[in-house]
Amino acid sequence: MIARIGTMAKVGLLVMATAAFSSGANGEDIRVGIIGLDTSHVIAFTKLLNDANDPKHVPGAKVVAAYKGGSDDIESSYSRVDGYTQQLQDEFGVKIVPTIEELCTLVDAVLLESVDGRPHLEQVKPVFAAGKPVFIDKPVAGSLADAIQIYKLGKEHNVPWFSSSSYRYYESMTALMQQNVGEIKGAISFGPAHLEEHHPDLFWYGVHPTEALFTALGTGCESVVRTSTPDTDVVTGIWSGGRVGTLRGLRNQATPHKVILFGTDAVAEQEGGGDYAPLVVEIVKFFQTGVVPIEPEETIEIFAFMEAADESKRRDGAPVTIAEVIEKAGGMP
């Protein structure tokens, strides 16, 4: 299990978030900037924050500026970035700026939304340098090594950040975790796991059901084995205390998502889905307080789980430890 941030470090992170939560405390909307306008999350999140008439409007923050970004070698990025940029300007009056550095002078907090995880490390550097709290959308990076570098830079600059899939905060997931099944002994999470050639297999879309699995079991995964076919991945992790978590990634078939909990007293299944609003609520709370809802160490373990699954595939399904892949990727401080 990865060590947690100490109390004094958390105090430091709160200090660095002063600009953001001071705005909220004064009754003013926190000014939010977006980096990367090539994902549908950009429009969905901005509508929730900026449109007071939206039935699920999340008050307390408003998107005021954005940096376009975009990746020339990912079709789902370059084919959408211009349209989303124009929509932000036309529907929400968001100012488009030429650099991330300029963006940071106009805002209190940042949403790093680039659909491509590879540029996240370079894109977050000026945000950390400016001391702005930042939510980094999935995948947190294009490699485990880059994710660890983001972690180290956040600590170095004493700036709070977090990353999460919306799956973690779905109302159906919250309801599942409130069920009394006794001591949780294991879980199964299944969901879509479409691939993208520039990212490790599970980073692109498998991150969603993986995050749901960690929502169920928490941190403490020790080793991973993976079985892979063109249509399906089955990744089994052994957690501390002998708990077993299984991820079933689905491709070229029906791709629903669900978590099943196995407890000492009962088995419970997730019923229904969810939307982005609960995640955006958590993001705004984070911008207001500087308190991260998910420790960065948990995010690193999630991506180490997915990297270990890739390594297990390379080794024809042999077990791979979380500690091994973290050390290979540069190690945690």
The enclosing domain of 30 has a CATH number of 3.40.50.720
User: Considering the domain boundaries, does residue 284 fall inside one?
Assistant: no
Whether 238 maps to a domain, the answer reads yes
User: Is 286 inside a domain boundary?
Assistant: no
Task: Return d(Cα 180, Cα 189) in angstroms, integer.
Answer: 18
Neighbours of 317 (CB within 10 A): 13
Domain count, the chain: 2
CATH number of the domain that residue 322 is part of:
3.30.360.10
Residue 333 has what pLDDT? 87
Reply yes or no: is the peptide bond before residue 139 cis, omega within 30 of 0. Answer: yes
Show which of 165, 198, 217 is a domain's final residue.
165
Q: What is the pLDDT of residue 17?
A: 46
Spatial distance between the Cα atoms of 254 and 57, rounded to a whole number of angstroms: 31
Give yes or no: residues 82 and 187 share one domain: no
Low-confidence stretches of the chain (pLDDT beneath 70): 1-26
Contact predicate 41/263, CB 8 Å:
no
Q: What is the pLDDT at residue 26?
A: 63
Task: Point out the domain boundary residue: 102, 134, 165.
Answer: 165
Helical packing angle, 120-129 and 144-157, nearest 10° = 0
- The reply to whether 293 falls in a domain is no
What's the CA gap between 222 and 199, in Å, rounded? 23
190 and 176 housed in the same domain: yes
Which residue range is the domain that position 233 belongs to?
A: 167-276+305-328
User: Do the domain assignments include residue 283?
Assistant: no
φ/ψ of 36, rounded to 5, equals 90, 105
Look at residue 296 and tell me if it is in a domain. Answer: no
Give pLDDT tens digits for 292-325.
Answer: 999 999 999 999 999 999 999 999 999 999 999 9
One domain for residues 91 and 234:
no
Residues 207 and 73 in one domain: no
Which CA distances in Å does 7 have to 4, 11, 12, 14, 292? Answer: 9, 6, 9, 11, 13
pTM for this predicted structure: 0.92
18 and 160 housed in the same domain = yes
CA atoms within 13 A on the CB side of 195: 13
